[in-house]
Chains A and B, each alone.
Chain A
Amino acid sequence: MGLAHEHELHRRRKSRNIGLGGVLAGFCLLIFILTFVKVETQDIRLPAGAATETGGN
């Protein structure tokens, strides 16, 4: 039988779970966008050897 009313304790757990889930999802999105921005704004060059290897195959 389920609980008829949500207890304070369950409300607190729920807010913690949703809050933490939101923080983690936000962090993933943040790192995702940050990676794009970093790659876009910084002049990243592969070493000459690595460029030849990938280009040669």
Chain B
Amino acid sequence: MTDASIDPQVREGDASFGDYLALLKPRVMSLVVFTALVGLVAAPGSVHPFIAFCAILFIAVGGGASGALNMWYDADIDAVMKRTAKRPIPAGKVSAEEALGLGLALSGFSCVMLALATNLFSGLFLAFTIFFYVVVYTMWLKRWTPQNIVIGGAAGAFPPMIGWAVVTGSVSLESVLMFLLIFMWTPPHFWALALFMRGDYDKAGVPMLTVTHGRPATRRHILAYTVLLVPVAVGAAFTSIGGPIYLTVAVVLNAMFLWGAVRIWKRDEAASEADNYKVERWFFKLSLFYTFLHFAAIMAEALLKPYGLGGW
């Protein structure tokens, strides 16, 4: 007998550990971890550092579980789109049933463990977030309405509120503002990407604003959501999570963001195609820094507060 008798094809059930990790969408998870951590650090009061570590871990696992359930449900459209064709299910490494099992198991596990480690409200909040992302967004609205990005943004905006709830066991104005910051930011961020990344969603039959309402309407939507975002982002500076550092960051970034949105609104397709969507690409890159720096500023205010430097 020689090695040649082994079938060299990698089949379902032959997945490596990394393939299962890929089901949990580690890149999305990193955003969840960061924003949840900021919510937890900025909240009034404190928890034991190890409990905080466990809370962030279980929130991350919950986020990963919803990612696995999303990949299970969207396996058909993932196979069609170039960006997602290499995901474990369309690549044939993990079966859709396995992804469903892993997603359900980790969902239950993360919510129960978060409730036991911290408080019941946080566990229920995490369960609601997973339900919202998987059922409301993925199963119901994603393939039905071009406002799918807005709804998806809400699911991604809950983690800082959960982090806040870990410490306080409740919801407050500040945690709602952190939610709104991500919620209002997601549409301009994603639609800017949709303007210069054509094709994928059309092939998969997912209704994108750029296709259903046209590109000039998408440009107007980007500006409208940015205009609504600015007072939320700057207004948060005058609450207990804000301070001079946050205010400076918010004023500078929101001025830039608004300026970028106005430029996108004023452009037409001919101008964009002429310079290969230079402004749209710049705006998209800026949007990545936008959320990161806002949340980093909230964290800085909270961490400097004990030394008399952060906050008002």
Give the nearest-CB partner of B6 in chain A.
Answer: A7
Interface: A57 (CB within 8 A): no
Q: Is B1 an interface residue (CB 8 A)?
A: yes
Is A52 at the interface (CB under 8 A from chain B)?
Answer: no
Verify B18–A15 contact, CB threshold 8 A. yes
Q: How far is the CB of A17 from chain B (nearest CB, A)?
A: 8
Please classify the interface of chain A as helix (H, G, I), strand (E, B), loop, or mixed, using the class held by over half of its residues.
helix
B3 near A7 with CB under 8 A, answer: yes
Q: Looking at the assembled complex, report how far the CB atom of A41 sits from the nearest CB atom of chain B, in whole angstroms.
A: 5
Most A C-beta atoms less than 10 A away, residue of B15, B17, B18: B17
Given the known inter-chain contacts A7-B6, A37-B48, please indicate yes or no for A13 contacting B54, CB distance below 8 A: no
Contact check, A30 vs B54: say whether CB atoms are below 8 A apart: yes
Kindly state the separation between the CA atoms of A15 and B280 in the bound complex, as whole angstroms: 42
Q: Which of B8, B10, B16, B48 contacts A41 (CB 8 A)?
A: B48
Determine if B3 and A5 form an interchain contact, defined as CB atoms under 8 angstroms apart: yes
Query: Is B269 on the interface with A (CB-CB < 8 A)?
Result: no
Please name the residue on chain B nearest to A1 by beta carbon: B1
- Give A11 to B19 CA distance when docked, in angstroms: 13
**Which residues of the partner chain A approach B117 to less than 8 Å between Cβ atoms?**
34
Q: Which residues of B contact A12 (CB under 8 A)?
A: 10, 14-16
- The answer to whether B307 has its CB under 8 Å from any CB of chain A is no
In the complex, the answer to whether B3 meets A37 with C-beta atoms within 8 Å is no
Tell me the minimal C-beta distance from A12 to chain B in angstroms: 4
Interface size class of B (residues with CB under 8 A): 10 to 19
Majority-rule SS of B interface residues: helix
A43 at the binding interface (Cβ < 8 Å):
no
Q: Return B65 CB to nearest CB of chain A, in Å.
A: 14
Contact partners of A13 in chain B: CB under 8 A:
14
- A-side contacts of B21, CB under 8 Å: 19
In the complex, A28 has a CB within 8 A of chain B: no
Smallest CB–CB gap between A47 and chain B, Å? 22
Distance from B28 Cβ to chain A, minimum over Cβ atoms (Å): 20
B10 & A8 in contact (Cβ 8 Å cutoff): yes
The answer, among A5, A9, A15, for a CB contact under 8 Å with B17, is: A15
Q: Is A4 an interface residue (CB 8 A)?
A: yes
Distance in angstroms between the alpha carbons of A16 and B16 in the assembled complex:
5
Contact B50 A33 (CB under 8 A): yes
Report which of B8, B48, B51, B54 forms a contact with A8, defined as CB distance below 8 A. B8
Instruction: Name which residue of chain B comes closest to A18, CB basis.
Output: B17
Give chain A interface residues in 1-57, CB to chain B under 8 Å.
1, 3-5, 7-9, 11-13, 15-16, 18-20, 30, 33-34, 37-38, 41
Q: Which residues of A contact B (CB under 8 A)?
A: 1, 3-5, 7-9, 11-13, 15-16, 18-20, 30, 33-34, 37-38, 41
Q: Which residues of B contact A (CB under 8 A)?
A: 1, 3, 6, 8, 10, 14-18, 20-21, 48, 50-51, 54, 57, 117
